[in-house]
Amino acid sequence: MSTKTARAYPNIALVKYWGKRDEALMLPAAGSLSLTLDEFATTTIVRVDDTVAEDQFVLNGAPQSGDSLGRVTRFLDLVRSMAGSSAPAAVDSINEAPTGAGLASSASGFAALAVAAAAAYGLDLDRAALSRLARRGSGSAARSLVDGLSVWHAGDGDETSFAEPVTGPDMRMIIVTVDSRQKAISSRTAMRLTALTSPFYQGWVESTEASLAAMLEACRDNDFSRVGRITESHALRMHAVIQSSDPPVRYLSPTSIAIFDEVVALRDAGVEAYSTADAGPNVAVITRPDDAERVATALEQYGEVRIVSAGPGATLIDTPAKAAE
Ligand code: DP6
């Protein structure tokens, strides 16, 4: 029996991943770049246990079944095939993201699971291999293996599609929670729909490669303004291509749009801030560290605001004494 515990944080992409070129291997249509956060951690304990009949998965104290357990079991099957093991595991996960904050993403979940499960099954994997493994659970999880700014290479295939660190400007992110209800359509389903039905999908993929190249240059130059401009225009392009699916999908709400407008007004008033949003109505705004409080105050009228910074990539931590018994 072997028990290992890992902690991982969510990430928010500045250049987004939206579309796969290989669903089985979870290879993205284009590369992406994100910021790993320092809040809303997922802590996951994996106990490999020959004496239990099948995998178990408990999330925030609630035993899981159906799709939720199925995703974990399929991921553990991959780890077991790599480790040459057939032993089931008990997975116990705590997600600190407030329910529905739009940050209860699968990224921190699968990054923590990849690190804990690989260790519990005795695999000795380097960062790139752990990032590749996490990718198989959820694409965006590949980036949560990395501290702070992280680029996930589209790669030529499984071996080259992983995330690694990027040096860039110091920034803060203001998360504005507009609506805490669960989204109507998951990223996975909606990105498949976009790829299959949007007449603009090819343009989206090509422009994402261009946005990523420009973003990497802006990071190298430590150019916060350029990072911000690319972030905002790229986010609006993603929402445009999503809306162009058939049937259409729209994640941004009138309040989300009002926040994008408020951020433009802040810039007009001389405060540099730039918006982005994932597959939901909540908005994340990047600023220079010194402007974070002022921007957060301006956005309080739209929802609950939280200022977050760059955080660490997924790592093993000591198993809590109670769980180790
Ligand atoms: C809008 O990584 O959740 O947040 O790979 O199917 O699990 P799967 O999708 P997921 O999609 C993330 C979409 C996004 C953009 C991003 O994080 O880059």
What confidence tens digit (pLDDT) does each residue in 187-239 have? 999 999 999 999 999 999 999 999 999 999 999 999 999 999 999 999 999 99
List phi, psi (to 5°) of 232: -70, -45
Give the Cβ contact number of residue 306 at 10 Å.
Answer: 18
Nearest to 198 by CA among 251, 242, 235: 242
Q: What totals of helices (H) and strands (E) does the chain contain, helices first?
A: 9, 16
List phi, psi (to 5°) of 302: -100, -15
What is residue 29's predicted lDDT score, i.e. its pLDDT? 98
Ligand 1, atom 9, lies closest to the CA of: 188
Ligand 1 atom nearest residue 105's Cα: 3
Would you give the end-to-end CA distance of the chain in angstroms? 12
What is residue 99's predicted lDDT score, i.e. its pLDDT? 57
55 pocket-lining for ligand 1 (C-beta < 6 Å): no
Asked if 288 and 170 touch (Cβ cutoff 8 Å), the reply is yes
What is residue 104's predicted lDDT score, i.e. its pLDDT? 58
Q: Measure the CA–CA gap between 252 and 279, rounded to whole angstroms.
A: 8
Question: Angle, nearest 10°, between helix axes 106-120 and 66-83?
Answer: 40
Residue 307, helix vs strand vs coil: strand
Of 26, 140, 152, 194, best ligand 1 pocket probe by most atoms within 8 Å of the beta carbon: 140
17 pocket-lining for ligand 1 (C-beta < 6 Å): yes
The token pair at 26 is: 């979870």
What is residue 266's predicted lDDT score, i.e. its pLDDT? 98
Question: What does the DSSP 8-state code read for residue 102?
Answer: S
- The alpha carbon of 34 is separated from its chain's Cα centroid by a whole number of angstroms, namely 8
194 pocket-lining for ligand 1 (C-beta < 6 Å): no
Asked if 6 and 269 touch (Cβ cutoff 8 Å), the reply is no
Residue 89, helix vs strand vs coil: strand
Ligand 1 atom nearest residue 279's Cα: 1
Give the Cβ contact number of residue 49 at 10 Å.
Answer: 17
13 pocket-lining for ligand 1 (C-beta < 6 Å): yes
Of 11, 161, 187, 231, best ligand 1 pocket probe by most atoms within 8 Å of the beta carbon: 187
Domains, the chain, ordered by start? 2-168 (3.30.230.10), 172-308 (3.30.70.890)
Which residues, given as ranges, of the chain have pLDDT below 50? none
What is residue 44's predicted lDDT score, i.e. its pLDDT? 98
Q: Which residue has the tokens 């700014």?
A: 149
Of 17, 242, 249, best ligand 1 pocket probe by most atoms within 8 Å of the beta carbon: 17
Asked if 202 and 241 touch (Cβ cutoff 8 Å), the reply is no
Helices (H), 173-275: 187-197, 201-220, 224-243, 254-268
Ligand 1, atom 4, lies closest to the CA of: 278
Q: In what order do the strands lie in the sheet with 172-177?
A: 273-276, 283-287, 172-177, 304-308
108 pocket-lining for ligand 1 (C-beta < 6 Å): no
Distance 18 CA to ligand 1 centre (A): 7
Q: Measure the CA–CA gap between 223 and 242, rounded to whole angstroms.
A: 29
Residue 98, helix vs strand vs coil: coil
